[in-house]
Every structure is written in structure tokens, then in C-alpha cells.
Structure 1
Amino acid sequence: MINSKAEVKLIDFGFAIDLTLLQADIHMCGSPFWMSPEQIQEKPHGVSVDIWSLGIMTLEMMRGSVPRRRSKIKSMFLAATIGVTVSRDKKYSAHWSNELISFLTACLQMEPRQRSTASQLLQHPFIVAAATKQEMLDLLPLLFMSSSIGKYCSNSSTQ
């Protein structure tokens, strides 16, 4: 979530565990569409599952929906067996930048050890080129105003 002060707030820690006390967790719990292959396969896993989830969340924001959203079971099966690939050959991704595709690919590696770490992702060109906090502060009022105007226009057209 992001508030009107351009502060990012992390939410939904319903299945969170503290891995500082454990080396790895082997329980399969989480939200199906965002679970990593190793979680679905009930293999021991660590913090790289969060990188997978970040990749899925970013993909969801870009597409407007999670991959394979019609079936949780199918989504989990395919994530656990073939993963999630990102390319420019889909209608929704034809305009995506090389940096975005590279970022998603870095997050969505099937093998946890091949996924980028959070520190590596913070240095990724996709993140480095992201808007500054000041740029976000300048943009957010326009987004909120656009939303309000959109609601007003749809209410006016129904009357």
C-alpha cells in the first residue's frame, strides 16, 4: 500500500514467520497465487520466497491480475512444475521495458538460489530508475484527483 505521503506500507502478514529463529520453514501455507515453487512442493524454504512473491505482485500490478487467476489449483501446479515466465510476446507485455522484464525474471527463478536477493534488487536498473519520493509526492495528488473525478463523472452519467 502507498499513502498520500508516498510512504509504502507493507500489509497482510497473516502467514508471516520469523526466520531469524529458524534456518528454513517446511510448511505449505500462504496465498496460492503468490506461493513460490518450493513452498508448494513443501520443501524447506527461506526468505527467497518473498522475492518470488514480490515478482508475482509486480506482475499482478503490471497485468492487472495474477497469472493463471482462474484456478488456484492450476496456478499452484504450474508454478511448482514450470514456474512463471515473462516475455514480450503477450498483448499485455508488448510495451514493457527490458528493465521490467529483467526485474521480473530475477524474481521469478524456479531455483531459489538463482533468485536475486533484496539487496541485489535494490540495485537493479528497474528500481534505480523508479520515481523518487518527491516525484511520487507530486504524482499522488493527480492520481487521487483522477480517481475522484472518475467517480464524479460516473455518478453524473447515471443520473
Structure 2
Amino acid sequence: YTAEVLLTLEYLHSHKIIYRDLKPENIMLSRQRGHVKLVDFGFAKKLSTSDKTRTNCGTPAYISPEVLRGGGYSFQVDVWSLGQLIVEMVSGSTPFQAEDMKQMYEKIMLCQPTYNRFVPQSLRDFLNKIFVPDPDIRLTLKQIKAHPLFKDLNWATSMKDLYEKEAAPFIPEEIFESTAAGDKKAEKNLLAALFDMPPMDQ
């Protein structure tokens, strides 16, 4: 999943689009093959390679130091968020958790991530090259692809080939048809699925 998210960000950046809101809630898995789909482009912005933007936006737990500093930022904010996402996928928690938002922002500004026991040292060493205050020395997407952690991945495979020819390790099951507000039948069937109860009669 990390590889697919990275390839998606790389595609966006190649079209001069900065995403700015990478987080688990914005990552869907396709029903057909279980591949990653990025959603919610409300914070995405077209940006030239040399330009910077200054809008303070994004999800607080995933925001980067340069956004908090307010001096302008560019595509490397997406790399920071990718690092955050990797930690959460591996460990189930974000690396800059704190008792309140002020403390969390202080940890982000100081680049002081906290890892639990599910994050091995080799991954911590890699992440510590992403969680740096200066975006100019932060790993780039290209450098991440070349990192030993991903040596077994065939990056030459295009996104088109990956999505059309290979199924992901996990393909989610659709357990209900709709969760639209007011759809009482769908809501009851969702509860039935979650609590191992018989579904509502069709």
C-alpha cells in the first residue's frame, strides 16, 4: 500500500499537483482488485516546481513543520505525510501524538516522533530521514523508491499495469449496499454485519 500511495503522489507531483491531505481516511481500496485509490482533493493545488504556497491547511496530526512555520512550502509536505501514514499503518498510532494540539505541534516542529514496539529499528532509521525540519534535506519520493526497504519492489511496473494485471493481497468485501443518510435498511444491515447478527430480511 505504501508503494501505491507513493506512485499516486509521484503521478500528482509530475502534473504539478500538491495533495496536502494524505491520511488513512482519504485512502480507499477498490472493490475489484483491492488497489489504493486516493480521494478528497479539496486541499489539492496546482503548483509550479519553483513556487511555494502558504495556506495553512491539512489534517493537524499529519501537518509538516514548514506548514506550521508559515514561510511557504512545496511538494515535500506530501512526503512528510507519507512518513506519518507509514507509521500509522505499521503501528496503529501516529508518531506525534500528544495530550493536546499545542504539544503535538511542538513535537512536529522539533521533529520528535515517538514510535511504539511495532516499528522496527530499520524502519525508524528510514523514517528519521523523512521527519526532518528542512524539506530540502528530507527524502524525496525518488530517494524513497531507491531505499533498501523497498529493494524487492519492481518500480518499473507502471501504475496501469499494476492496477490492471495484479490483484492486491487484500480485497475488501462489500457487506452492505448503501449507508446513505436515512437508509434504515442499510444501517440495520451494517449493524448486523458488525455485530455478527442475521441481516434484515430482503
TM-score between both structures, scaled by the size of structure 1: 0.72
Q: Look up the equivalent residue of 1:18 and give its one-letter code.
A: K
* AA in 2 matched with 1:85: P
Distance 1:101 1:117 in 2: 17
Answer 1 or 2: which has greater strand percent.
Answer: 2
Return 53-62 or 67-76, whichever deviates more.
Answer: 67-76
Matches within 5 A, 1:2-151: 2-4=29-31, 5-20=33-48, 23-66=51-94, 67-68=96-97, 70-80=99-109, 82-85=110-113, 90-93=116-119, 96=120, 98=122, 100-129=123-152, 137=167, 139-141=169-171
Larger Rg over CA atoms = 2
Q: What is the alpha-carbon distance in structure 2 between the residues aligned to residue 117 and residue 21 of structure 1?
A: 14
Report the alpha carbon displacement of residue 152 of structure 1 after superposing the two structures with TM: 6.9
The structure with the greater share of residues assigned to helix is: 1
Instruction: Please tell me the root mean square deviation across aligned C-alpha atoms, in Å.
Output: 3.1
Runs of 4 or more off by more than 4 Å in structure 1?
130-134, 151-154
Q: Would the alpha carbon gap of residues 76 and 139 (structure 1) be closer, same or farther in structure 2, given more than 3 Å must change?
A: same
TM-score, normalization by structure 2: 0.58
State, as a whole percentage, how many aligned pairs show the same letter: 25
Q: Partner of 1:155 in structure 2?
A: 196
Q: Which runs of 5+ in 2 are unaligned?
A: 1-27, 174-191, 198-202
Query: In the aligned structure 1, how far is the partner of 2:128 from the partner of 2:80?
Result: 10
Q: Which amino acid aligns with 2:85?
A: M
| Structure 1: gaps of 5 or more residues | 145-150
Partner SS state of residue 57, structure 2: coil
Return the letter of the residue paired with 2:102.
I
